[in-house]
Amino acid sequence: MRGGRFRPPERGPSCPLFERIVSQPDFEVIRQVLDGETAAFELLVLQYQQTIFRLAQRMTRNTEDAKDITQEAFVQAYRSLRSFQGQSSFSTWLYRIAVNLCLNRLKASRREDPVEVDGNFPDAREDSLATLLTSERDRALAAAIEELPPQQRATLTLRVYQGLSHREIAHVLDCAEGTAKANYFHAIRTLQRKLEAFRDTG
């Protein structure tokens, strides 16, 4: 491997690596990687792995799948780093890779048996009626998200949890801005209807 091998980073706010993560713009790090300092790529992994994992987890609702997708997204990003043109931010580019992996995974999993949905829902047996209702509502909402078409689920996740604009979402999903906006609108409307049953009681 040219340009230095990867070494485990030091940890803690006082280490030089931490300071570089905070202070260096992504473009500068990418340039260093392309100039041969390949170990600098780990700065990008440390910077974005939580974001990408959460995105994948919300898309797949499965922790193991999300872990695999996160790893694969970074490896694919590394392989094609020289094609990154800087027309969008690195995070948007990385989202695009990760979302495509999620959509492929969802497509494949729909052909298989449904998986158990991960979720930190409280055990309602020992709680009050209000907690029971909240738990039921959250389960219903999670199930309703599961049933959304993959493109709508991706749009919803990028918008609500990642805070992307409709234009950025269109770029990530490679569609028109109007399509991204319409997908989001339909997703919210669907979930709004699913929650109607809980409004009077909750």
Return residues touching another protein (CB under 8 A). Answer: 1-3, 5-6, 8-9, 33-36, 38, 41-42, 45-46, 49-50, 53-54, 57, 63, 67, 70-71, 74-75, 78-82, 118-122, 137-138, 141-142, 156, 160-161, 184-185, 188, 191-192, 195-196, 199
Residue 145: exposure state from Cβ atoms within 10 A (0-12, 13-18, ≥19)? buried
Report d(CA 112, CA 180) in Å as an integer: 28
Is the CB of 82 or the CB of 111 nearer to another protein?
A: 82
Q: Coil, helix or strand for 160?
A: helix
CB of 107 to another protein, least distance (A): 22
Is the CB of 169 or the CB of 191 nearer to another protein?
A: 191
CB 10 within 8 A of CB 16: yes
Is the CB of 111 or the CB of 201 nearer to another protein?
A: 201
Is the CB of 141 or the CB of 175 nearer to another protein?
A: 141
CB of 2 to another protein, least distance (A): 5
Report d(CA 39, CA 139) in Å as an integer: 42
CB of 160 to another protein, least distance (A): 5
The sign one gets for the Cα dihedral 105, 163, 193, 186 is: negative
Q: Which of 10, 134, 109, 6 is nearest to 56 (CA)?
A: 109
CB of 180 to another protein, least distance (A): 13
CB of 154 to another protein, least distance (A): 14
Q: Looking at the chain, how many residues does it have? A: 202
Expressed in angstroms, the distance from the first to the final Cα of the chain is 59
